[in-house]
Structure formats: structure tokens, C-alpha cells
């Protein structure tokens, strides 16, 4: 566990309203779960957010699991809080909750 990496992750998730750590990019996801996460954000009308490609960022890839005690990708953070992965995002979206979360991040 790298304390500098954890500090960088903390800085990223607290200084940006919406952050998605994923495999690949929103335009070119490298796994189905990351693709679904990006699609859920798009379906909520979110066009501006920070996405971090963990496949290109070894520091984030190795240390993110320690930051939030969440072992898998993608990981969505809204206003510094871990929301979860793509299945949680999809569930929240289907209940109408994801839309409220992203709206709160824009405020």
C-alpha cells in the first residue's frame, strides 16, 4: 500500500464531483462492467466527469482497493463517496436513485 497513491486518490475523488475508476475509457471501455458504468452515467445525462483508466495507471490499479476497501473495478465516486460498481450503479439507476445522486453532484 502506497500512502502517496492513496493521497492522490483521495485528492482526485474529493476535488471532482464525479469520478469513475474504470478499465479503459468511457469511449473505449476494456471490460463489460466498465462499459455498463459509463452507460449508466450517460443515461443519467452526465457528460462531464473524471474517468481514470486503471489499466494505464498502475498506481491507482494497485492502491484503489485499499482506499475504499473495494476490490473490483469500476468504482464510482460522487462527492468523495464510493457509490459502488456497475451492478450497484445499474440497480440505483433502475430505482431512480442514480439520477438524484448525479444531480446532487452538479449542485
Contact 107, 92 (CB under 8 A): no
Half-sphere exposure of 45 (CA within 13 A, CB side): 9
Q: Is 31 annotated as a binding residue?
A: yes
Q: Give CA–CA dist 84/86, Å, rounded.
A: 7
Q: Give CA–CA dist 69/50, Å, rounded.
A: 21
Name the binding residues for [2Fe-2S] cluster.
31
Name the binding residues.
31
Amino acid at each position: 500500500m502506497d500512502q502517496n497513491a492513496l493521497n492522490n486518490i483521495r485528492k482526485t475523488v474529493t476535488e471532482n464531483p464525479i469520478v469513475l475508476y474504470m478499465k479503459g475509457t468511457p469511449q473505449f471501455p476494456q471490460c463489460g462492467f466498465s462499459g455498463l458504468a459509463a452507460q449508466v452515467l450517460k443515461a443519467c445525462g452526465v457528460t462531464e466527469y473524471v474517468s481514470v483508466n486503471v489499466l494505464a495507471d498502475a498506481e491507482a490499479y494497485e492502491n484503489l482497493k485499499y482506499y475504499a476497501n473495494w476490490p473490483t473495478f469500476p468504482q464510482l465516486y460522487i462527492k468523495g463517496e464510493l457509490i459502488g460498481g456497475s451492478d450497484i450503479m445499474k440497480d440505483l439507476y433502475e430505482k431512480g436513485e442514480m439520477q438524484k445522486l448525479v444531480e446532487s453532484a452538479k449542485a
